[in-house]
Chain A
């Protein structure tokens, strides 16, 4: 039963905020209005508890309202606010140093800041264009890098066309993922400023790069004078078992973009980390790009704490345990419902569960929701459920999640396949 209070919020949400989106969720059987949140659990207004396996794409990597991040933000307000974006600043510089110290390429140096991931993507694209003095940008088909002016053009038209903002100048090329020939063909003209890649494309349902794909893309970039931009918004910050996912593929990008989890969801912030070459404009004309909220000093203080926490040796160990344990459990579930649950894509705690039906992840999402687990389907490939556990999940929580996932998948399977054609042992 939906309470009158919740119904009221939903009605007002439709009226004042976003009518279509609010209604879509109701139609999908997910009548969630998040109220209380703590650790890896969110609580619906009506008290329904959900394990959060969506984490807003890794924003809540360390859990909701992580106590140390809350503490450092509170303590930070005793000294800092957003700061002044023109002047040299203590916190902004300190975070840039901390990022330079742990960046995936040894010659990464500068950090330019945004308030959200897409803003940092725009900075990355603008920087690449300035550095290479070329305009073209290559991304992959069904890429997703956010919704700002340039970022949205790198992605599927589903998000740009509505706003008459799709690329009409032929400056944004898209090639199929895992297709090196197509990549080379696109780069061959030497008129490309940068290739932008999510290390593992999230919204596309985490298709995994073939062995050698990413390093070869980087090689092609070098051959044809283009920069490599690693969008690590979802794959960075230990989600692949190392600080940056790209590290595991032996690629040293020219630009790295991080956002979402960098502040643990407690203060909006994004970072564009660049080599000296990629960030050439910072030497030529430092006033060329600016952002009042980007690099807010409070956000920098929180980000530094996040970086410190995720680099603790215990976190690395725990991430491996979570990845191994959940995989072992999911393998068992997959064996049990093998006619429906057909594949698992995984790198660290980034997982995509693939179902044997065009829209298969949607009923799974619905039944998981009813069973206390919140995981979202992939917008650009609804066969795939994004399964994104946090870095600090406890063993007990993982066990509990697996128990609920098994139930949810069995119900979704029955809904999709019918309960008669039952599996054979």
Chain B
């Protein structure tokens, strides 16, 4: 008979047990981050590169797995995202140094990086693996420890991917527990993690409720709000190119990136041509009846129909009983109004694009502003134009912190077809009730101790360039005395003091004083 492990008294859902779980995981993370701070830049980058290589090698596997598990998106596009969040992400930040002190001779400042510590991260179901890769790599670049809480709908692929990356990190020499994943996330457990004094920072991507909860946790948090990007196509734009970019963007991973265009606004003078251009690019223009069907299907009393997230245009059309050509990439729904009255002007994480014709440029700007007022404040907006006065007016009008010009917004706002920082956490800033207004990057996961000299010229700045490295690397393993193979390391030298100790210094001082005295007497 084999022994069976039983639970006779189940306390797993009690506050004591939840807190116990959170404590034990977070404390391991804190240990890891503490030891990580002994690592130099070279070793840090070696770990980062090893993780990126593992992420790249598994891009296809986890793209397929994520689509199969969640039903969201397009595997082929997810693979691209998974790859973008591996080597290219690392290369983007390769020349930035988050490890060594910065020495500023001019301002007589030395800035020493101090990593956050234990970072609790939430990953969404829509972009599960790309977000996971991205957050892990950001954390490792800055020598933090990461605890991942995957969205329950993408749990299995995320747990597996996190363990794969954690193994690669460990193999490359990362501290044990630098990457951990919660295998059975639940709301009470997540709340316990977010509120724990052992959590240095929560990095929340996900539903609004989670983000607000992160901000209410009493701990530092970087959470971002939802998107609802307006895209303005001006008559000055190359309409064919604009249409093509918009369709590419909306169909990319079936619009699961929160930076996807939600409502297209254009002007009467280019309405017809734009419609034709959209059709040529694979858009299907819905008639009034079809718009009604889509509206009813996508929005119900409690909100957006989750089943439609990340589904392709043909699948959605079929759900609504619509017949569309086989090559349809997105569905375009013309709408008269924008605002509360028109549900289709809200965020849609699926390849359905609302289409609105404003009377004038001024009205277009007002409407774009209104879209973001409803939802998506601080997030993204796009414009297609060759008139920089217009783009400037647009960017200063809309309450978005990234305005993508003549590029697909899904990719562009996330930094993949623009020179914005590549990200899977779009800072929605003060407009969007967030602490950060730019694309979140490694710089947000580290603070700096600033050593500041007296600015008076009489006080000279020290020579910090010649100081020895203070990176000791991993902790030496303690001996297990008497265990075969456990060598007993003995301290070979006294710990370095970085110079003389007090008594020696005293002696030296005395010698010098005596010499001086002798010299003066002669």
State the A residues within 8 Å of B (CB).
66-68, 70-72, 75-76, 78-80, 90-91, 94, 97-98, 100-101, 200, 208-214, 240-241, 248-250, 301, 304-305, 308-309, 312, 314-315, 317-318, 320-321, 323-328, 331-332, 334-336, 338, 345-348, 392, 394-395, 422, 424-425
Residue B467 lies at the interface, judged by CB distance under 8 Å to chain A: no
Q: If the complex has contacts A68-B20, A301-B9, are A348 and B503 also in contact, measured as CB distance less than 8 A?
A: no
**Which of the residues A75, A323, A328 comes within 8 Å of B11, measured between beta carbons?**
A75
The residue in chain A whose Cβ has the minimal distance to the Cβ of B2 is A101
Minimum CB–CB distance for A329 against chain B, Å? 10
Distance of A76 Cα from B14 Cα, bound (Å): 13
| Cβ A321 vs Cβ B483 within 8 A | no
Number of contacting residues on B, CB 8 A? 46
Residue with the highest number of chain A CB atoms closer than 10 Å, among B24, B30, B177, B198: B24
Distance of A394 Cα from B16 Cα, bound (Å): 18
Can you show 20 pairs from A to B with CB atoms below 8 A apart? A71-B16, A75-B14, A97-B6, A98-B5, A98-B6, A101-B5, A208-B482, A210-B482, A249-B483, A301-B8, A309-B24, A314-B28, A315-B24, A320-B477, A320-B478, A323-B478, A327-B479, A331-B491, A346-B480, A395-B30
The residue in chain A whose Cβ has the minimal distance to the Cβ of B30 is A395
Minimum CB–CB distance for A318 against chain B, Å? 5
| Cβ B478 vs Cβ A324 within 8 A | yes
The residue in chain A whose Cβ has the minimal distance to the Cβ of B1 is A97
Distance of A250 Cα from B30 Cα, bound (Å): 33
Residues in chain A near residue B14, CB distance under 8 A: 71, 75
**Which of the residues A67, A312, A314, A320 comes within 8 Å of B16, measured between beta carbons?**
A67
Q: If the complex has contacts A94-B8, A336-B494, are A213 and B482 also in contact, measured as CB distance less than 8 A?
A: yes
Minimum CB–CB distance for B195 against chain A, Å? 16
Q: If the complex has contacts A248-B480, A332-B495, are A312 and B24 also in contact, measured as CB distance less than 8 A?
A: yes
Residues in chain A near residue B24, CB distance under 8 A: 309, 312, 314-315, 318, 392
| Cβ B482 vs Cβ A348 within 8 A | no
| Cβ A321 vs Cβ B481 within 8 A | no
Residues in chain B near residue A90, CB distance under 8 A: 8
| Cβ A425 vs Cβ B497 within 8 A | yes
The residue in chain A whose Cβ has the minimal distance to the Cβ of B494 is A335
Q: If the complex has contacts A91-B8, A314-B24, A321-B176, are A250 and B491 also in contact, measured as CB distance less than 8 A?
A: no
Distance of A337 Cα from B30 Cα, bound (Å): 30
Residues in chain B near residue A212, CB distance under 8 A: 484
Minimum CB–CB distance for A58 against chain B, Å? 17
Within 8 A of A (CB), among B466-504: 475-484, 491, 493-495, 497, 500-501, 503-504
**Which of the residues B16, B31, B176, B497 comes within 8 Å of A70, measured between beta carbons?**
B16
Residues in chain A near residue B277, CB distance under 8 A: none
Contact with A along B113-131 (1 / 0, CB 8 A): 0000000000000000000
Residues in chain B near residue A98, CB distance under 8 A: 3, 5-6
Main secondary structure of the interface of B (DSSP, over half): loop
Distance of A97 Cα from B9 Cα, bound (Å): 16
| Cβ B475 vs Cβ A328 within 8 A | yes
Residues in chain A near residue B28, CB distance under 8 A: 314, 317-318, 321
Residues in chain A near residue B482, CB distance under 8 A: 200, 208-211, 213-214, 249, 347
Distance of A423 Cα from B104 Cα, bound (Å): 39
Residue B27 lies at the interface, judged by CB distance under 8 Å to chain A: yes
| Cβ B479 vs Cβ A325 within 8 A | no
Minimum CB–CB distance for A324 against chain B, Å? 4
Residues in chain B near residue A91, CB distance under 8 A: 8
State the B residues within 8 Å of A (CB).
3-9, 11, 14, 16-17, 19-20, 23-25, 27-28, 30-32, 34-35, 176-177, 180, 198, 475-484, 491, 493-495, 497, 500-501, 503-504
The residue in chain B whose Cβ has the minimal distance to the Cβ of A208 is B481
Q: If the complex has contacts A318-B27, A425-B501, are A67 and B20 also in contact, measured as CB distance less than 8 A?
A: yes
Residues in chain A near residue B180, CB distance under 8 A: 314
Residues in chain B near residue A320, CB distance under 8 A: 176, 477-478
Distance of A90 Cα from B481 Cα, bound (Å): 40
Residues in chain A near residue B495, CB distance under 8 A: 331-332, 335-336
Minimum CB–CB distance for B508 against chain A, Å? 12
Residues in chain A near residue B477, CB distance under 8 A: 320, 324
Residues in chain A near residue B176, CB distance under 8 A: 317, 320-321
Residues in chain B near residue A335, CB distance under 8 A: 491, 493-495
| Cβ B11 vs Cβ A425 within 8 A | no
Minimum CB–CB distance for B327 against chain A, Å? 51
Residues in chain A near residue B497, CB distance under 8 A: 425
| Cβ A321 vs Cβ B17 within 8 A | no
Distance of A317 Cα from B501 Cα, bound (Å): 36
Q: If the complex has contacts A209-B482, A348-B480, are A321 and B5 also in contact, measured as CB distance less than 8 A?
A: no
Given contacts A314-B25, A331-B495, A425-B500, 8 further A-B contacts (CB under 8 A): A68-B17, A70-B16, A80-B9, A211-B483, A214-B482, A304-B6, A314-B27, A321-B32
| Cβ A321 vs Cβ B479 within 8 A | no
Distance of A336 Cα from B449 Cα, bound (Å): 29
Distance of A304 Cα from B198 Cα, bound (Å): 27
Residues in chain A near residue B480, CB distance under 8 A: 240-241, 248, 346-348
| Cβ A71 vs Cβ B481 within 8 A | no
Distance of A98 Cα from B6 Cα, bound (Å): 8
Distance of A67 Cα from B21 Cα, bound (Å): 11
| Cβ B475 vs Cβ A324 within 8 A | yes
Minimum CB–CB distance for B146 against chain A, Å? 14
